[in-house]
Copies of this chain bind each other. A is one copy, B any other.
Amino acid sequence: MTERLTLYSYWRSSAAYRVRIGLNLKGLPYETVPVHLVRNGGEQHLPDYARANPQKLVPILEHGQRQLRQSLAILEYLDEVWPTPPLLPATARERQRVRALAQLVACDIHPLNNLRVMRFFEHEWNVPQSERDVWMKHWMIEGLEAFETLLADHPSTAEFCDGHAPTLADCCLVPQVYNARRFGVDMAPFPTIRRIEAACLALPAFDAARPERQPDAPAAQPASAARA
């Protein structure tokens, strides 16, 4: 396993953020190739990138000659090829819960808030920014409410979403909370999520994966920075 790992990433992409956390938790060195999703109409549409990923989405993780797509499938791959430390718990039942939490974010919140969706609203339907923000927050709040309930009601919830070490669920939750804060979602109603987010961000693996730590992040990031 000496093949190089290269992540095609965008600093603010929450799917790329998930994979960065996973790579860091595994202690795997990787090279970042930034793909700017906004500049020049989106560098993910350039022919070389679109050939690698016909969906024109980030991230892609290259492992040697292989091009791996879809953030959760990439994380499962990392967990299979480098099993320690595990991103999934020990039993089928616990793994089911962790994957379901991860998918709550990856299937039911994030896809609705994606940049391409915002572009559709702006360019096809002329939906004003204020209404696009209502949409954003609607799905984030609905999803985070369910996530909070599923955490608060379950005995496996501890320092992290499942037990005493981060899993796939935490890899998805932290980027989602970053997005929620960015769009001004009031996080007060989600105490369990906030507590787990803080525990995660205290770990170097999560800290180094933060958007503002990425090589393609703008030099200064004031809270009011333009949305990308």
Contact = CB atoms under 8 A, between A and B. Distances in A.
A70 interface: yes
A96 B111 contact: no
A134 B81 CA distance: 42
A131 B125 contact: yes
A54 B107 contact: no
A68 to B, nearest CB: 5
A145 B54 CA distance: 8
Number of copies: 2
Interface stretch (A98-106, A174-182, A205-213): A98-106
Interface stretch (A25-33, A71-79, A191-199, A215-223): A71-79
A219 to B, nearest CB: 32
Contacts of A124: 134, 138
A120 B102 CA distance: 24
Given A81-B92, A145-B54, A150-B54, A70 B131 contact: no
A203 interface: no
A93 interface: yes
Contacts of A73: 96-97, 99-100, 102-103
A77 B96 contact: yes
Given A96-B73, A146-B54, A117 B107 contact: no
A80 B106 contact: no
A74 to B, nearest CB: 7
A100 B70 contact: yes
Given A55-B146, A146-B54, A107 B70 contact: yes
Given A68-B96, A81-B92, A103-B106, 12 more contacts: A55-B143, A66-B96, A70-B104, A70-B107, A72-B99, A72-B103, A73-B100, A76-B96, A77-B92, A108-B111, A125-B127, A125-B131
Which 8 pairs of residues, A with B, have the shortest CB-CB distance? A73-B99, A70-B100, A111-B111, A77-B96, A73-B100, A54-B146, A80-B92, A54-B149
21 contacts: A54-B146, A55-B142, A55-B143, A57-B108, A66-B96, A68-B96, A69-B150, A70-B99, A70-B100, A72-B103, A73-B96, A73-B102, A74-B100, A76-B99, A77-B92, A103-B106, A107-B107, A112-B112, A112-B117, A124-B138, A125-B127
